[in-house]
């Protein structure tokens, strides 16, 4: 049987073909959003992983989906405006719901468990709120400025707008890189979201939601960096 994936494939291309690969890459600590332009072999070497095992995991995950009723849309083929609407209605809605909740939760566990775990929880609180500030501003910029411009261009292409679009998208990619860095630091300071023995339900919920935020943001960034923005390059 021929292999579906190769280590020479770009990470972003693999996730575009097989979205659940994002979950596999996250478990291996492989950046598929901001680092989606790199080949899989580069990431494997950087992380000191066994190439054969990673490829086998990808192949198994892919084969497990064969014959199942897949609901994943191939966003590589979808119209740009449909992809934008998906990002808005799925990922932006998720963030507007989860960010305020996580703000309260990270503050609560710092107050309650700060005496015994303050070294970790103070960092979690600071990192999360730095991320929240950046993401809140990012959502406004996308919703009010960038996405309307992309939709307008998709309907009525104007080459004179491409330089402006390229500059705006470049700025968003820089924010993505910053957000990705904070997410990686959160995972590092929490020791892969390992819970202490005295963790309460709120502590557990906070870590679970932070991991969910990481997963959603990585997928969000992947769709923009690797699929949406390249369509508007001059």
Range scoring the smallest mean pLDDT among 68-72, 84-88, 125-129, 141-145: 68-72
Lowest-confidence range among 67-71, 119-123, 152-156, 182-186?
67-71
Burial state string for 37-70 with b = 16 or more CB within 10 A and e = fewer than 16: ebbbbbbbeeeeeeeeebbeebeebbeeeeeeee
Please say if the pLDDT value at position 85 is more than 90.
yes
pLDDT at residue 17 tops 80: no
Rounded Cα distance between 207 and 190, Å, is: 9
* Tokens 């014959």, located at residue: 67
* pLDDT band at 2; cut points 50, 70, 90: low
pTM comes to 0.75
**Contact by Cβ (8 Å): 144, 222:** no
pLDDT > 90? residue 131: yes
Residue, of 142 and 5, whose pLDDT is higher: 142
Going from N- to C-terminal start, the domains of the chain cover 11-65, 80-232
**Cβ proximity of 80 and 94 under 8 Å:** no
Mean pLDDT of 184-205: 94
- First-to-last alpha carbon distance for the chain, in angstroms, is 40
| Residue 63 reports pLDDT greater than 80 | no
Name the token pair of 198.
């005295």
In three-state form (DSSP H/G/I as H, E/B as E, the rest C), the secondary structure along 160-182 is HHHHHHHHHHHHHHHHHHHHHHH
Distance separating alpha carbons of residues 70 and 178, to the nearest angstrom: 33
* 234: pLDDT strictly greater than 70: no
Region 12-35 average pLDDT: 81
Rounded mean pLDDT, 8-33? 83
Report d(CA 169, CA 180) in Å as an integer.
16
What is the pLDDT, as a whole number, of residue 69?
Answer: 43
List Cα–Cα distances, 227 to 14, 22, 36, 78, 100, in angstroms: 12, 14, 10, 10, 28
Q: Which of 10-14, 44-48, 72-76, 95-99 has the lowest mean pLDDT?
A: 72-76
Rg of the chain, C-alpha, whole Å: 19
Provide the pLDDT for residue 121. Answer: 97
């Amino acid at each position: 049987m021929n292999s579906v994936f190769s280590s020479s494939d770009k990470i972003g291309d693999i996730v575009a073909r097989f979205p659940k690969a994002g979950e596999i890459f996250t478990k291996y600590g492989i950046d598929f959003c901001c680092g989606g332009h790199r080949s899989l072999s580069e990431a494997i070497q950087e992380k000191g992983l066994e190439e054969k095992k990673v490829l086998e995991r990808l192949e198994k995950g892919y084969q497990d989906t064969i014959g199942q009723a897949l609901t994943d849309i191939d966003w590589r083929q979808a119209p740009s405006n449909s992809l934008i609407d998906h990002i808005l209605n799925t990922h932006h809605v998720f963030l507007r719901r989860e960010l305020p909740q996580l703000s309260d939760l990270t503050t609560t566990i710092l107050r309650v468990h700060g005496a015994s775990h303050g070294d970790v929880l103070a960092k979690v609180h600071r990192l999360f709120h730095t991320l929240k500030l950046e993401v809140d501003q990012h959502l406004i910029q996308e919703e009010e400025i960038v996405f309307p411009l992309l939709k307008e261009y998709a309907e009525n292409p104007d080459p004179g707008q491409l330089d402006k679009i390229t500059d705006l998208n470049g700025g968003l990619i820089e924010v993505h890189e910053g957000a990705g860095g904070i997410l990686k630091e959160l995972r590092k300071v929490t020791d892969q979201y390992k819970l202490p023995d005295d963790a309460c339900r709120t502590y557990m919920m906070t870590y679970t939601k932070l991991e969910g935020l990481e997963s959603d943001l990585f997928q969000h960034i992947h769709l923009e960096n690797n699929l949406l923005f390249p369509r508007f390059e001059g």
